[in-house]
Amino acid sequence: MNRIALITGATSGIGRATALKLAQNNFDIIITGRRIELLDELKKEIKEKPSGRVHILHFDVRDKEQVFKAIDALPKDWKDIDVLVNNAGLAVGLEHLHDGTVDDWERMIDTNVKGLLYMTKKVSAIMVEKNHGHIINIGSTAGKEVYEFGNVYCGTKHAVDAITKGMRIDMLKHKIKVTAINPGMVETEFSLVRFKGDKERAEKVYKGFNPLIGEDIADAILYVLTRPEHVCINDMIITATAQANSLYKVTE
């Protein structure tokens, strides 16, 4: 029987690439996000993959009532989730703290930290019932070190790092694997969102630099999910060859 994987933030970037990669490798996929038209498009693509089984959940991870209702209302044949990929997340703004916008901070904290917690609460309860499952949290190099202007975004990803470690302890006796995948710069909609739709500024981030793409992270997720039962990959940091850490990268 195929494993069921729920991926948050599947409309774009890392989440979309992961949904396609896992569907290619015989996972049944629950895709989630706010942009329903993109979920519908992805559903069509997944239907062409070997698994072909796909289910859409449409909600904002910041809204705990929506999250809880969506998981509670899953049809019986989709409820038995084996894999949760907590991927939905964002950076908004890139300013010194005293120039920062409170609403940007709240969007990041509510999505990257609280949204991840709401999802995990509901889905891990299903996994605990059956003493089986795998939770993958998408952290960041920003959760391992802090860079100028990164303040609150780095704070949320450091929180993901700590919460992942806590989860692994709590899930231990339930045989649930917990993995953090921490990418460096990946070319997705990330910078467009960070710079609030300023395409020119977003493109500059990757100019002359050879970044990761969503599929590189999807590959790592598939690797982590296909280890033997007794092996749990706890923590992975993945950067482009042209990047050493948050502070050092080379451009051509």
User: Which residues here bind ligand 8X3, judged by CB under 6 A?
Assistant: 140-142, 150, 185, 246
Mask: binding to ligand NDP, 97-136, rule CB under 6 A, as x and -?
--------------x---x---------------------
Cβ-closest position to ligand 8X3: 140
Shortest distance, CB of residue 227 to ligand NDP, whole angstroms?
A: 22
Query: Of ligand 8X3, ligand NDP, none, which one does residue 193 interact with (CB within 5 to 8 Å by kind)?
Result: ligand NDP
**Taking CB under 6 A as the rule, does residue 15 contact ligand NDP?**
yes
CA distance 74 to 68: 10
Footprint of ligand NDP on residues 50-89 (CB under 6 A)? 60-62, 87-89
Q: Binding partner of residue 246 among ligand 8X3, ligand NDP, none, CB under 5 to 8 Å per kind?
A: ligand 8X3
User: What residues are labeled active site?
Assistant: 153
Binding site residues, ligand NDP, CB under 6 A: 8-15, 33-35, 38, 60-62, 87-90, 111, 115, 138, 140, 183, 185-186, 188-190, 193, 214
